[in-house]
Amino acid sequence: MATQIKIGLLVVLAGIVVVVALGARRTEGAGNEFRFNAAQLKDKTLWTQVNAEPYFISSHLAIQCAAPTATDYEREKQNPHMRMYITVYVNRIGQKAMFSKNPKFPEGSIIVKEKSSTEADWRKPVLYTIMRKREAGYNPKVGDWEFSVVAANGTDMQVTGKLEKCQLCHVETPDRDFIFRDYLSSLNY
């Protein structure tokens, strides 16, 4: 009987060890898990609005920055001059680099593009695209940037990671740490 109790206790202990190990494995890398809440963009202690006025980007570029849907194609057919306006934000970590002539963003920098479909409704986003500077070696093809797309509600992550669609454009600007800053009129390239 005592042997059965000892075996039972060993089985329970082994089960606890397995559960703890699996729990640790599930949280491994959780420090790199990215969550976004657009409501935080209003907090000026955390974020700097980069461009004072919404910046117009062409429909060609706007469609490249989000997976086009059948609705996008229909809208484009109906209105070949579909408009997209962006308001850009940078977190405190990336602020100095954002406004420098030759930027080199430190790990932890985050750049958010809040995208609206009309100039009049520029504070009613239809989408957020985000770049987050990760640790060295994460994505050397584009300076270790991670790309994310967040729904209009400002919290639902649609896709995140080494997004090839994003990288295709950003790979063209290694001299600017793989970012575009046309919305900054104060910088001349």
pLDDT, tens digit, 9 for 90 and up, residues 130-148: 999 999 999 999 999 999 9
Q: Is the pTM of this model over 0.85?
A: no
Radius of gyration of the chain (CA): 22
- Residues of the chain with pLDDT > 70: what percent? 65
* Residues in Cβ contact with 180 at an 8 Å cutoff, skipping those fewer than 6 apart: 169, 170, 173
Minimal CA–CA distance to 116: which of 157, 88, 143, 91?
Answer: 88
